[in-house]
Structure 1
Amino acid sequence: MEKEEPVTVHHLDKLKEKPDVHEARQKLNADAQESAELAHSLSISDAIRAYPMALFWCFAISMCIIMEGYDQILVPSLFAYPTFQKKYGEFVDYGSDGQPRYQLTAAWQAGLGNAAVVGAFAGTLINGYVVDIFGHRHVLQASLIAMIGSIFITFFSNTVSVLCVGQLIAGVPWGIFATVAPAYASECLPMKLRVYLTSWANMCFCIGQLIAAGVLRGLSGRTDEWGFRIPFALQWVWPVILIPLLYFAPNSPWHEVRKGRIQNAESNLRRLQKSSTGIDVSKTLAEIIHTNDFEQEMSVGTTYWDCFKGVERRRTEIACMAFVGQVLSGSNFAYNSSYFFEQLGLGTSTVYSLSIGGLALAFLGTLINWFFCMPYFGRRFLYISGMASMSIVLVTIGILNVWRSRTSVIYAQAGLAMFWNLLFDMTVGQLGWAIPAEIGSTRLRQKTICLARVSYYLVNIVAGVLQPYFMNPSAWNLRGYTGFFWGATGFFVFVWAYFRLPESKDRTYEELDMLFSMKVNARKFKQTDVNLYSGGERETAAK
């Protein structure tokens, strides 16, 4: 008996003028339902076996983010680097050893810390348009080529102003990298795996920051300019590796469906899925088309303005706040802690050793999250509990600052900052990437992620301006008391998340569409049943 071929929109186009188009539509719905049921029943190990190439390409594309993570910690860490201070800073006084001491002013610290953020802000907004036109692969390759040129400016800069311009220009491709990777992962992987590879972006940040800390620790003994120019030059390594590799990456099948290129979508799915595992590519494609059709019925557009219309406004708010929470949890204070450690009175070698230790804990936190948290706990629980825990740690650092003259207290504050790194990457650090990548509608996913990341950059710019003034001895010189401020902002996000953050674990994109369209309360998302196919109608019913 001949095997019955699943029906897709490609088939429907051929049947538009035929009387059995309704039957074809019912077949499409049946295939989509079967694919959705399989998505729920698929175990993580089965999903890994079924999507090996999708995992590979998601890992490869996310590797671009290593460069942003590398630079994100590189420049702030150089503020405590003696040769960098001498090159770009101003004379302050003579140290106890009789040697002159230099410091960058708080204004230039803020300027250098935010230059790349401003550039990334522009790159993120641009990305929302260009990816929709050209697709993820072409945009990434163009950005990597631009990255190669921008590094020349930072490497050869002789003044702090030129260095600032170089950071500004380099930020544009970084903004693109940071928003392409989670969107690509969310569209190429099954439901059981999407949270791991959307949050893998955070792991790439950890890897980049760990590499930067190790490089700086290894070069901290140099007394010439190569001590900070070599770290800049190492940024050329990644584009050389990734440009030829990404040439072969498939485009997202969701992107192809939105563009009406159904055959291309099916071809890309076959490159991402392993057919020998029993997963029918045509039925996966039917689910993508079914979801896209539903969103079109809901009048979901594809522009930035559409992100602020109707139910999409709520989804955009959640995506933006989830990302902004990474900053308001105190990341500018505790995550980039080299300068904080220096202001505590620790030596350069100890500062960078502690920084490496903190980043190693961040890496460990990511693994704990993957293997012991996300498989068993929901996004909502982890985000809320993480935000509460980090706020308590930050306030404790502030309280301990009352006794900052004691050596034991100094190391206790440093230890708490490192512990904060562990908590951050077990919870908010990961989910700040994963939630925006899955909470928006599929037709607006890339733009929702871009808006969320833009919100992150805007808040990060403000935080990047404030943080040097909090810490700089020639400015407010608050040291550990800064923990009170960030503890308060973290508590604000905790309150928001309790009332507004819904649970998206184990939900297909179409189920999320339905829950949002029915305006289900955030605290009831987990307890609400969604039946998309009963009697041919989409409906929800609370348990």
Structure 2
Amino acid sequence: MAGGPSGTAEGISNASLAWAIIMSAFAVMIQGPSALIAMSDWLHTFGDYDPTLNLGVDGYYLKVPNKSLVVSILSAGTFFGALLAYPMGDMVGRKRGIVCACVVFALGVGLQLDTNWTTFVVGRVIAGLGVGLVSCLVPMYQSECSPKNIRGLIVGLYQLAITIGALLAAIILNATKDRLSHAAWRIPIAVQFAWAFVLGGGMLLLPESPRYLLHKNRVKDACAALGRLSNHPADSPEVDAECAEIILALKEERAIGSGSYVDCFKNTQLKNGLRTWTGILLQGWQQLTGINFIFYYGTTFFASAGITNPFIITVICDLVNSTLPSIRLSLTVTHYLLNLACMTIVGVQLIDRVGRRRLLLIGAAGMMICEYIVAIVGVTAGQIAADGAVNLAAQRVLIAFVCFYISFFATSWGPVAWVITGEIFPLNIRAKGMSLAVASNWLWNFSIGYATPYLVDTSTKGQPNGVATAALHVNVFFIWGSTCLGCLIFTYFFIPETKGLSLEQIDLLYKESSIRGSEKYRREMIMADISHARHEKLEATSSHGDSSEV
């Protein structure tokens, strides 16, 4: 078999690897700024004025309902955008669908430059539609075009693109936050036009997904696209064999079901129902790790913990989650030396070495421990004294274990969740299954983003314009620690090991193996070099029809 995007051979061509890297370079996730709500000019423009509440800046503050709305409304748009990824991806195509998504996102960014509250919120929704489309179509495209040996790395780089976007957004926000004009918040928003241009323009240079083309019975175009990706002539035996492998798997899927939404939840031989619910719940659990609490509300949370430069802390968290190996930043309370190295880059390289299932288990356990430590320290030594004094040692512990927590996320649940979502669905329902799974991600993202201010903010009930909240503050980390325990249990029972398998071999794994037995069956498949076509021949010639014995 060919060593291209889905080949069953171990080797891949240099050109195939080059295309895979190009895909990831263009697949920069569009990252919206998250700390606007703490900016002085933004609060003066969109906030309310009430000096008696002692909130916000110069008496200007954002009401809890409005804070929940402005942070979470983008996620509401992304939810519907993810659902629209199915018709966009299957009718327009993976490639053109991504380009269209970038146009939608750019429109939303433009509307957010207005000073009218309604226009700003509508812009957030439209931008969310674009992000939702991108968040589903990009991993789908990468999974269908990447060599199996490095598919985890390539799709995992999608998460790296997200963290790079978060890092750049935090740096730009920190650089513009003290401006006294609208440029303080318009510049970070306008920078997002660049991401749309890079992704949309870059996709025009890449071929369409060969699996999508075969799904549409465009065999000649699929061979040409596969040839570009694998550096073989379109009429070569390698490309013909690869196409035959995909077509055979697709025919079996179509024989079992029509590929409708109903088929996504049927427990057929291919276990579509299990795979769909796995994708939906996996993306939900990723959000329930609590990671977006830090990136959405980290600035205001650290301020409430007594740290006097929360914008710098947000940059630190993004750096740990992204690319810098070692930094030393000056804070007003002390100097911190961070020696956490390139966690997301490390993580994406481990996906195809350590394995998906094992990384998720390690990451969930690590995050759980870190979050419980943050919660315990925060409610004991980390409390601010009545006279306003803070325990510097406790603050160091809080920051350190938040960084450790982000490191565990960046090497596991951040990239691996997208890798698994992109590879577990059969081709006939891939667009529908992925749209449902990614929509689950954004639904939980919206829910957590909307609920968090009501969970952690100080209650102003009984005061003019006051709002009742749970005022959990650092206690919220007890919740995130418990949800990470749920992530650990979910992974053990629902996530198979798919390292080193082609997408068609993953179909066989679900058909022939159990979840906890997936590692053993995966090794047997690789050692015996069992492809979908060979499996069919073995079933036809074996009196028992049991390919797992091969």
Structure-1-length-normalised TM-score: 0.85
What is the match of residue 320 of structure 2? 361
Residue 400 (str. 1) matches residue 377 (str. 2): yes
Counterpart residue number, 2:131: 174
1:22 corresponds to: none
**What whole-Å deviation, never above 9, does each CA across 1:489-516 have from its counterpart, x for those lacking one?**
1211211211121111122222221222
Which of 150, 169, 174 aligns to 2:108? It is 150
- How far residue 56 of structure 1 moved from its aligned partner, in angstroms, is 4.5
> Is residue 194 from structure 1 mapped to residue 188 from structure 2 by the alignment?
no
In structure 1, distance between residues paired with 2:70 and 2:107 = 19
Give the letter for the 1:254 counterpart: R
Alignment counterpart, residue 370 of structure 1, candidates 348, 359, 368: 348
Deviation digits for residues 345-399 of structure 1 (CA, Å, limit 9, x no counterpart): 222xx3222211211111111111133x224311111101101111111111111
Taking structure 1 as reference, are residues 315 and 97 closer, same or farther at Cα in structure 2, changes over 3 Å only? closer
Structure 1 residue 39 and structure 2 residue 8: aligned?
yes
Q: Residue 225 of structure 1 aligns with which residue?
A: 182
Mapped partners of 1:239, 1:122: distance in 2:
19
Give the aligned residue type for 1:290: L
Q: Normalising by the residue count of structure 2, what TM-score does the alignment of the two structures yield?
A: 0.84
Residue 50 of structure 1: CA displacement? 4.0
Match among 294, 318, 322 for residue 334 of structure 1: 294
Q: Please tell me whether the aligned partners of residues 35 and 287 of structure 1 are also in contact (alpha carbons under 8 angstroms).
A: no
> Per the alignment, do residues 335 and 491 of structure 1 end up closer, same or farther by CA in structure 2, a change over 3 Å counting?
farther
Q: Summarize the alignment of residues 144-543 of structure 1 with structure 2, pairs less than 5 Å apart.
A: 144-159=102-117, 161-275=118-232, 280-297=238-255, 299-310=256-267, 311-336=271-296, 337-347=298-308, 350-363=309-322, 364-371=342-349, 373-402=350-379, 403=381, 404-405=383-384, 406-474=391-459, 475-518=469-512, 520-528=513-521, 529-530=524-525, 531=530, 532=532, 533=534, 536-538=537-539, 539-541=546-548
- The one-letter amino acid of 1:367's match is I
Provide the secondary structure at the position in 2 that maps to 1:345. coil
Distance 1:177 1:495 in 2: 30
Q: Is the 8 A contact 2:79 2:439 kept in 1?
A: yes
Could you tell me which residue of structure 1 aligns to residue 328 of structure 2?
Answer: none
Distance 1:411 1:53 in 2: 43
Letter in 2 for 1:481: N
Give aligned-pair identity as a percent: 23
Query: 1:9 corresponds to which residue?
Result: none
- Please give the alpha-carbon distance, in whole angstroms, between the structure 1 residues aligned to 2:213 and 2:109: 33
Residues 535 and 288 (structure 1 numbering): CA distance in 2 closer, same or farther, change over 3 Å? closer
1:88 to 26, 42, 46: 46
Amino acid at match of 2:283: F
Residue number in structure 2 paired with 1:107: 65
Which residue of 2 is the match for residue 15 of structure 1?
none
Deviation at 1:48, TM superposition (A): 5.9
Task: Report the residue type matching 1:293 in the other structure.
Answer: K
CA offsets 1:387-418 (integer angstroms, 9 cap, x no match): 11111111111111222222321232122222
Q: Secondary structure of 2:429's match?
A: helix
Q: Give the gaps of 5 or more residues in structure 1.
A: 1-30
Count of residues in Structure 1 that have an aligned counterpart in Structure 2: 494
Deviates most, 309-318 or 472-481: 472-481
Moved more, 89-98 or 333-342: 89-98
Q: How many angstroms apart in 1 are the aligned matches of 2:5 and 2:77?
A: 40
Structure 2 residue runs of 5 or longer lacking an equivalent are 323-341, 385-390, 460-468, 540-545
Larger helix proportion of the pair: 1
Mark the CA change 1:512 to 1:497 in structure 2 (over 3 Å): closer, same or farther. Answer: same
Shift of 1:266: 0.3
Tell me whether 88-97 or 410-419 shows the greater mean CA deviation: 88-97
Q: Secondary structure at the match of 2:49?
A: strand
Calculate the aligned-residue CA RMSD, in Å: 2.6
36 and 100 in structure 1: CA distance in 2 versus 1, 3 angstrom threshold:
closer
Once structures 1 and 2 are overlaid, which stretch shifts more, 238-247 or 337-346? 238-247
2:470 match: secondary structure: coil
| CA contact 2:113–2:186 (8 Å) conserved in 1 | yes
* Other-structure match for 1:3: none
Whether the 8 Å CA contact 1:325–1:432 is kept in 2: the answer is no
